[in-house]
Homo-oligomer: A and B are copies of this chain.
Amino acid sequence: MPEIKPYESQVWRVSVHTRILKKEPVPGSWERLGGRGLVARILLDEVPPECEPLGPKNKLLFCPGLLTGHMLSSIDRLSVGGKSPLTGGVKESNSGGTTSLQIASMGIKALIVEDWPAESGWSVMHLSMDGVRFDPANDLTGLGVYDTAETLKNRYGKKVAISIIGPAGERKLMSAGIFNLDKDGVPSRINARGGLGAVMGSKGLKAIVFDAAGGSKPPLVDAEAFRATQKIYNKYLIDHPQTHTYSDYGTPAMVHLTDGLGGLPTRNFSSGTFEYADDISGEKLRELILERGGEGNTTHACMPGCIIRCSNIFAGEDGKTIVSPIEYETIGLMGSNLGIREYDWIGRLNWQANDLGVCSIELGAALGVAAEAGYMEWGDGKRALELCDEIRNNTPLGRILGSGAAFTGKILGVERVPVVKNQAMSAYEPRAIKGMGVTFATTPQGADHTCGQTVRDKINHLLPAGQVELSLKKQIAMAGYDSIGACIFAAFGFAVAPAETIRDFINARYGWGVDTSILQTLGKQTIEMELEFNRGAGFTKANDRLPEWMTREPVPPHNVVFDVPTEELDKIFEW
């Protein structure tokens, strides 16, 4: 057992050029920020907004949330950030898994990865309490995410956390993500959106290993109060009906909900309802998993200590794992959006996306655009897998698809592309679920459901009235959650007394004496900083729009266009 070092919260700064790690005190203005908020602050302070995202001036940031480090259920998430090669703006992409917990245990407030490597070739950056080491990794070139994870677990042991890029990240494809191990060592927890895997690729890093041996949990100012609050939070979480739905069905429970609203993206967003929605529903997935047995599991935790356990393991007829997990977003984008109704195809496509190291939302949307351009027939899962092979083989078509939906549309000459700020929409048809349309249009992150989810709110989703207000409320809350390290579903635990519970957690952890407005404050600060970065990067209101065709083409079954007035969109952040 290594000696436990006294806990010290520091900024760890590594130049991939000099390969030197500098541990720095946390600047005063960064202290009360974490996760997404801290990403925005560091970008504003250190990255020129006009810089080339894949150039030496961009930085790759790893920031645990403010409450990360204590195995609170669903509150150990990791924010990875940088300037996005996909959107050209601010990017924070968060994930579950074990990385954030290890980072927090090492006392790393923020890891800042800088510059370009001095030489070509690939490295694994190994971080431990002893410092940084760059291990040669050219033998991993072109290796998929799953094999890379196995190789690195054998090389570095099973106790470390690992962040990995796949072939897509190495090739700087704009849909490339960063893949983290879940609590069982499966590299399925993904900082998926915005191409941060390409930024990591531009730094010459195939993987980053975080070894927290000798580290310790972040200190609690008032451990007793923390545990008392945790008890209340857990009770609310366990009592919340959605916790049980997500435990039983996971996020695929959403399929029937969105299809019912006419908001399930189907055949490249040409319809909001899928005639085979039953076949890709959460109920069907659960039935299949239970029926097939073997390695399949209807419920599974991505982070240690999670009560909800919304993840799943999908196995084939032979009982062997096809992929873990299958999430609603992937079902929407790689299922109905491609006209595919069989979970066996969706699961295999999902595995391919993961192994290639791309965002499954972005790839699903790109395949939908490619289908519209004639590169596949709707519903042809086999052909969709062949198109994934094009990415693996690094063909021109593969590079197009791996560059995401927006660029696929530009290159293939398709106007009907479901993107905002070049980032693909997740699986909510924004003409039918208009609050999501507002979130997609206005969030500084580019189209992203996790920036302000409105689908479960009591509102007529088909009408424009009230959507801006609703989206704003959700956007502020999510920017707050993303800053404390909370999963979107932690909201179930905060549902009854969110302001008080979060206040009590923060005060017990840090002793700051914050009041009940803390979530709002964190959320607004974060969005304001992100907007400032984007303005510097050249964004204007003209970027806060859904694609023109969505204002022109009515989407079945309700035959609605997106009609939230642009004047309202433009005022959303005037608080």
- A interface residue numbers (CB < 8 A to B): 49-52, 54-57, 171-174, 395-397, 399-400, 403, 407, 410-413, 415, 535-543, 545, 547-549, 552
Contacts and interface: CB of A to CB of B under 8 A. Distances in A.
Nearest to A201: B413
Contacts of A537: 542
A139 B543 CA distance: 40
Contact of A539 (B171, B411, B538, B548): B538
A84 to B, nearest CB: 13
Contacts of A545: 50
Contacts of A396: 395-397, 400, 411
Contacts of A51: 548
Nearest to A403: B411
Which of A52, A173, A535, A542 counts the most B-chain CB atoms under 10 A from its CB? A542
Contacts of A57: 548
Contact of A549 (B55, B412, B542): B55
Given A52-B415, A400-B411, A542 B538 contact: yes
B540 A171 contact: no
B410 A547 contact: no
B547 A536 contact: no
23 contacts: A50-B542, A52-B415, A54-B413, A54-B415, A55-B548, A55-B549, A57-B548, A174-B410, A396-B397, A396-B400, A396-B411, A399-B400, A399-B412, A400-B400, A403-B411, A407-B410, A407-B411, A535-B540, A536-B542, A537-B542, A538-B540, A538-B542, A539-B540
A115 to B, nearest CB: 12
A400 B403 CA distance: 12
Contact of A547 (B52, B413, B540): B52
Contact of A548 (B49, B52, B543): B52
Contacts of A407: 407, 410-411
